[in-house]
Amino acid sequence: MELQKAKRKNLNLVGSNPPVPYEFGYESEHPAVALPFGIKLCGQNFVGARISMTTIHVVARDEIFLIKGSKHAARVQFDFKNFSVSIYPEVVVVGEFGDELVLKFADPTGDHVAQLRFVLNSFIAGDFVTLGAVMAYSGPTKPKEEKKAAEQNWKERYRSIAVATISGLLALWAASALYVRYTTGIEMHPVLIEQAGQPMQATTAGQISYLNLDAAKGEVLFSINANSGDVLNFKMPCDCEVVLSQGVREGITVLPTDVILTILVNSLDLNVQALMSVEGLARAMKGDRVYLDLADGRSVPVQVIAGKGANSAAMNGQLFVPVQLVASDNSLTQEDIGRYGQLRLAKRHFWN
């Protein structure tokens, strides 16, 4: 620190024009701002006049003489109403301009830059109100969030939530589809609920030549002209109701085992027969649950009974075999006669 008593009042060391800072081409690149501040230099206090990001102008004191080009540690203090901000840069003495002593920051990009820039920008923006030698801060306590940025953040958040929700639903749907595919099987052929009766089938290939649905017991019910030239007559076994199979009439050609008509021995019983795949029959025999899903939304548990016809068909290599379905008591009524359904197989869970 080099302090000397001044012997003359005019301490202008550099003439009438102060030098331009070495790092910048124009003086106006960093305009000086007149705001209240104080600076302590070489143990002496100076009153600040103007300050910028590169230079400091203080009120010159006649009794203090600073050597041009000398470097000193300084404390620049900005006094506010309830607090103060201080920075501690190194300054270089440039000279005097009129009644002001001009100092230059030795390191314009030093640690003090952030605090100094905040004070200057806030003062220029009008956030500081000067009260004599004291300043009061009247600006916002935190930077304002841009409205567009906030709206964008909400949009991105909603979009992320929507994508996560849709992804979760798709994953749940895929898991449910895999579970249903593994545990559930649907049979291809529909099931018709009919009245229980005794079917009368053609025993040979030929043409139906006679039909009498009103025949009494012992009378001829229908006749077939066989391809061999013989005439086969089928008698009515009882005084019962007869139901003609669909599409059967006099003159049509039939093949062996074709059902010509059904004799209803007991009109209160129901008959549920179906064609079931060999794979489905095997699952039913292993213990899978079998349900008859009706068109009205009901799902009736049924038991599968496979007779000799199913065994013969399976031995012959057929993919579908005839089976009989037996529903639980009172599950199917007379009102269900003529309705169609579909067989569904479901695996038993370990808890039931």
pLDDT per residue, tens digit, the chain (352 aa), is 444 443 433 444 444 445 544 444 445 567 788 888 889 988 888 988 888 888 899 988 877 778 888 899 999 998 877 778 899 999 999 888 778 888 999 988 888 888 888 888 888 887 766 656 566 656 555 555 555 555 667 778 888 888 889 988 998 888 877 776 777 888 888 888 877 778 888 889 999 999 998 888 889 999 999 998 899 999 998 888 888 888 889 999 999 888 888 888 765 667 788 888 888 888 888 888 889 888 888 888 888 888 777 777 777 888 888 888 888 777 888 788 878 888 998 887 655 5
Q: Hey, what CATH topology would domain 198-264 get?
A: OB fold (Dihydrolipoamide Acetyltransferase, E2P) (2.40.50)
For residue 145, report the phi and psi dihedrals to the nearest 5 degrees.
Answer: -85, 130
The structural domains of the chain, with segments of one domain joined by +, span 27-137, 185-195+270-346, 198-264
CATH superfamily, region 27-137: predicted glycosyltransferase like domains (2.40.10.220)
**What CATH code is assigned to 185-195+270-346?**
2.40.30
Using CB atoms within 10 A of its CB, is residue 40 exposed (0-12), middle (13-18) or buried (19+)?
Answer: middle
DSSP for 163-175? HHHHHHHHHHHHH
Using CB atoms within 10 A of its CB, is residue 293 exposed (0-12), middle (13-18) or buried (19+)?
Answer: middle
Please work out, in degrees rounded to the nearest 5, the angle formed at the alpha carbon of residue 213 by the alpha carbons of 209 and 218. 90
User: CA 282 → CA 58, 194, 217, 245, 293, distances in Å?
Assistant: 104, 25, 42, 31, 20
Instruction: Collapse the DSSP code of 93 into the 3-class scheme (helix H, G, I; strand E, B; otherwise coil) and give the result.
Output: strand
Please work out, in degrees rounded to the nearest 5, the angle formed at the alpha carbon of residue 137 by the alpha carbons of 135 and 139. 150
